[in-house]
Amino acid sequence: MKNLYTPIEIPCRSCGRSGGFNPLLKVVTGYRPGASLQVVDCPDCGLTFLNPQYQFDAYSDYYQNDYYVDDGANSLEETYRVAQSHAAFKPYLKNFAQRLQPGATYLDVGAGTGQWLDFLRDVAPEIPLENIHVLEPSDASTAFIRRRYPTISVQRSMLEDNSYPDGFFDGVLCSALIEHFTDPLESLLRFSRIIKDGGRLMLITPNLDEHSYAKGPQNLFKFPHTFYYTPGTLVSLLEKAGFTVETEDVFYDSGLIWYAFLIVVARKKEPRAIGDVEKFRVKTVRDTANAVSAKAFRQRMKARISAFRREFRVWFIKRKIKKIAPWLARSK
């Protein structure tokens, strides 16, 4: 287990560059045992990610056994309760469902507590329960969903190990998940395999911007979040996986305490084999623009950190002076 949770250096999973990455944050708290995991961005394509990060088997072990257990016995119920307050996402899901064919087959990947199943039933009741599927690696989560939706097909598995046939789904929802993958391009190709030609994929992930950063780097940058996306870097990965982006939005909601969300709907345009993933790790014109944007973002964040540190020093000195002022007055 110790070797399983040993951080490893990785190449860029979008363009294939190896080494020479730009540091964004110095450390991120690790896991079992704690480790220093650095956030970097790629100077060739702008993709931001943890490097080093843990290997796939470590994350697989964590999600299947510890993801909800760590927070205590009430973790699933509390997660479900909080997720229900995010109903402002419903219009996006409704728009996605309306793009699917009548009688569509639908998959919720990484369904967690099944809150998006509730949203789907509200906005698209015409999709029959027998056409709705769930893919979720956690034992606790799958049991929770099965209790609430006993007639829905639930497969307990990582995306990498799923047993769905090729071209099975008309629509796939991947909410707050792609930031957890250890190879996002390969994962998108896995989605492509199980989506019908012309079928659609909806991605929801934290948006890498100043708003999210201001909410607290510790909420965004942590070891389960292996990759961090801007609209440009996510669209680039989708295009490399053979998808065409139909809509992209950045969603801000005061009720979401952590970050803004990037919401993208893409259509499968061209089937691409998972075994050819290395062929698609190339630098594109879009990647060049993304790298320029990443550099500007990194400079703004460094300036913000420097300003925060100055403000903190001033606050700390004032606090100390306030504490010793009565003592100084008495000593005169």
- Residues of the chain falling short of pLDDT 50: 70-73
- 104-139 pLDDT, tens digit per residue, is 999 999 998 888 999 999 999 999 999 999 999 988
Alpha helices in the chain (DSSP H): 56-65, 75-84, 90-98, 115-123, 139-148, 184-194, 210-214, 217-220, 231-240, 285-331
What is the rounded distance in angstroms from the CA atom of residue 318 to the CA atom of residue 266? Answer: 53
> Exposure string (b/e) for 56-86, b if CB count within 10 Å is 16 or more?
eebbbbbbbeebbeeeeeeebeebbeebeeb
Amino acid 140: pLDDT: 86
Task: Please give the structure tokens belonging to residue 118.
Answer: 């509730």
What is the rounded distance in angstroms from the CA atom of residue 199 to the CA atom of residue 270? Answer: 11
- Specify the CATH class of 75-273 in words: alpha beta
Amino acid 228: pLDDT: 94
Amino acid 37: pLDDT: 82
Amino acid 216: pLDDT: 60
What is the rounded distance in angstroms from the CA atom of residue 19 to the CA atom of residue 9? Answer: 9
Task: Please give the structure tokens belonging to residue 64.
Answer: 């299947």
Does residue 100 contact residue 171 with C-beta atoms inside 8 Å?
yes
CB-based contacts of 81: which residues, under 8 Å, 6+ apart? none
Q: Where are the domains of the chain?
A: 75-273
Identify the three-state secondary structure at position 305: helix
- 177-228 pLDDT, tens digit per residue, is 999 999 999 999 999 999 999 999 999 998 988 766 666 666 677 788 899 9
Residue with structure tokens 């990194």?
298
